[in-house]
Structure 1
Amino acid sequence: MTVADRQRVAGLGVPVVNAVNDSSLLRRAATLGAGGRYPPRVDQVVDFPRLREVHERAEAGRASGKTVVRVGDRARRLASLPTLDTILP
């Protein structure tokens, strides 16, 4: 999220983090991942219908890693449909 009014946000108690886009860090992370040295921390594996529970857990601060969401055949079929970026030049 982009925050334009940092003072107002700070007054709301929202932490503000200044991230720097550095492509060399992304390349290093990709290299570590490809070599198996940057494994993800998987907190839970859930079926798609339980996605609401996943959000509630994260919002409550109880998530300790990534969530893998399993999707059914219908979602797989939808994911295989062409998108605008693959259709338009």
Structure 2
Amino acid sequence: MASQTNKELFVGGLARILKEQRQVDVRLKAGDSDQKGVSISAHKLVLSARSEVFKMILETEEIKATTTLDTITLSELKHTELVALVE
């Protein structure tokens, strides 16, 4: 059996904590999600690393100043689009 590389272990670990929703620090909500509780849990660090748009959003003073779990509504996206973007 071949051993996994450090990169494979790291990526697998990231996927696992996202799936298990461990240590999430932000929730994303689409503009068409009018129901309460319809949000996607995520990690600010991963979003910032993967997207310049999320990096700019997460570096605003409003987001940086909060100490609670933030919910960011992206009004221009549909829920299915947001799911595809985060995956």
TM-score, structure 2 length as denominator? Answer: 0.30
Structure with higher Rg: it is 1
